[in-house]
Amino acid sequence: MAQDLNQEAIAFLNRPIENSIPYLIVGAVYLKVRDHGRYILKAVLIIAGVRSDGYREILGLSVADQENEGFWRALFEDLKDRGLTGVQLVTSDGHKGIQKAVQEGF
Protein backbone atom coordinates (compact mmCIF):
# COMPACT_ATOMS: atom_id res chain seq x y z
CA MET A 1 0.00 0.00 0.00
CA ALA A 2 2.84 2.40 0.88
CA GLN A 3 4.53 1.72 -2.47
CA ASP A 4 1.32 2.58 -4.33
CA LEU A 5 0.97 5.78 -2.32
CA ASN A 6 4.60 6.71 -3.03
CA GLN A 7 4.01 6.26 -6.76
CA GLU A 8 0.93 8.49 -6.61
CA ALA A 9 2.81 11.17 -4.65
CA ILE A 10 5.70 11.12 -7.13
CA ALA A 11 3.28 11.38 -10.06
CA PHE A 12 1.51 14.32 -8.35
CA LEU A 13 4.77 16.18 -7.71
CA ASN A 14 6.00 15.60 -11.29
CA ARG A 15 2.78 16.45 -13.12
CA PRO A 16 2.90 19.14 -15.81
CA ILE A 17 1.81 22.63 -14.82
CA GLU A 18 -0.67 23.53 -17.54
CA ASN A 19 -2.06 26.88 -16.32
CA SER A 20 -0.39 30.24 -15.86
CA ILE A 21 0.31 30.79 -12.16
CA PRO A 22 0.67 34.50 -11.33
CA TYR A 23 1.08 34.09 -7.55
CA LEU A 24 3.34 31.80 -5.56
CA ILE A 25 3.25 31.23 -1.81
CA VAL A 26 6.58 29.86 -0.64
CA GLY A 27 7.57 28.55 2.77
CA ALA A 28 9.22 25.88 4.84
CA VAL A 29 8.39 24.05 8.01
CA TYR A 30 10.81 21.98 10.08
CA LEU A 31 9.69 18.56 11.22
CA LYS A 32 11.33 15.79 13.17
CA VAL A 33 11.78 12.77 10.92
CA ARG A 34 13.19 9.35 11.57
CA ASP A 35 16.54 8.86 9.86
CA HIS A 36 18.45 5.60 10.41
CA GLY A 37 16.91 5.00 13.82
CA ARG A 38 17.19 8.54 15.20
CA TYR A 39 15.04 11.63 14.93
CA ILE A 40 16.43 14.75 13.28
CA LEU A 41 14.99 18.03 12.02
CA LYS A 42 14.40 18.32 8.27
CA ALA A 43 13.03 21.23 6.27
CA VAL A 44 9.90 20.60 4.23
CA LEU A 45 9.90 23.18 1.42
CA ILE A 46 6.45 23.93 0.02
CA ILE A 47 5.35 26.01 -2.97
CA ALA A 48 1.68 26.72 -3.55
CA GLY A 49 0.33 28.56 -6.56
CA VAL A 50 -2.73 30.69 -7.11
CA ARG A 51 -4.09 30.65 -10.65
CA SER A 52 -5.79 33.61 -12.34
CA ASP A 53 -9.20 32.05 -11.58
CA GLY A 54 -8.34 31.97 -7.85
CA TYR A 55 -7.83 28.20 -7.69
CA ARG A 56 -4.97 27.27 -5.34
CA GLU A 57 -2.83 24.19 -5.69
CA ILE A 58 0.33 22.70 -4.26
CA LEU A 59 2.93 22.88 -7.02
CA GLY A 60 6.04 21.60 -5.33
CA LEU A 61 7.26 19.97 -2.16
CA SER A 62 10.69 18.81 -1.15
CA VAL A 63 12.38 17.53 2.00
CA ALA A 64 15.85 18.94 2.61
CA ASP A 65 18.43 18.94 5.36
CA GLN A 66 18.06 22.70 5.64
CA GLU A 67 16.39 25.64 3.98
CA ASN A 68 18.87 27.45 1.75
CA GLU A 69 19.11 29.19 -1.60
CA GLY A 70 20.34 26.11 -3.46
CA PHE A 71 17.36 23.96 -2.48
CA TRP A 72 14.90 26.75 -3.33
CA ARG A 73 16.59 27.43 -6.67
CA ALA A 74 16.40 23.74 -7.59
CA LEU A 75 12.72 23.60 -6.65
CA PHE A 76 11.93 26.72 -8.74
CA GLU A 77 13.86 25.29 -11.72
CA ASP A 78 11.90 22.03 -11.43
CA LEU A 79 8.63 23.99 -11.51
CA LYS A 80 9.73 25.94 -14.59
CA ASP A 81 10.80 22.70 -16.30
CA ARG A 82 7.29 21.33 -15.60
CA GLY A 83 5.70 24.37 -17.28
CA LEU A 84 5.40 27.11 -14.65
CA THR A 85 4.80 30.46 -16.37
CA GLY A 86 3.31 33.85 -15.63
CA VAL A 87 4.72 34.41 -12.13
CA GLN A 88 4.10 38.02 -11.06
CA LEU A 89 4.33 37.87 -7.26
CA VAL A 90 6.04 35.57 -4.77
CA THR A 91 5.18 35.78 -1.09
CA SER A 92 7.31 34.26 1.64
CA ASP A 93 8.59 34.84 5.15
CA GLY A 94 11.52 36.87 3.81
CA HIS A 95 14.15 34.12 4.12
CA LYS A 96 17.32 35.38 2.38
CA GLY A 97 17.72 32.11 0.44
CA ILE A 98 14.19 32.37 -0.94
CA GLN A 99 14.70 36.01 -1.92
CA LYS A 100 17.90 35.28 -3.81
CA ALA A 101 16.46 32.20 -5.54
CA VAL A 102 13.37 34.20 -6.60
CA GLN A 103 15.52 37.04 -7.98
CA GLU A 104 17.60 34.58 -10.01
CA GLY A 105 14.74 32.31 -11.05
CA PHE A 106 12.11 34.87 -11.99
The whole-number pLDDT of residue 6 equals 86
pTM above 0.75, yes or no: yes
The whole-number pLDDT of residue 94 equals 86
The architecture that CATH gives domain 2-105 is 2-Layer Sandwich (3.30)
Average confidence (pLDDT) per 10 residues, the chain, 106 residues: 84 92 96 92 95 94 91 95 96 92 92
Q: Are 97 and 68 a contacting pair, CB within 8 Å?
A: yes
Q: Domains of the chain: which residue ranges?
A: 2-105
Q: Estimate the crossing angle of helix 69-81 against helix 96-105, to 10 degrees.
A: 30
Between CA 102 and CA 12, with CA 95 as vertex, the angle to 5 degrees is 60
The whole-number pLDDT of residue 99 equals 93
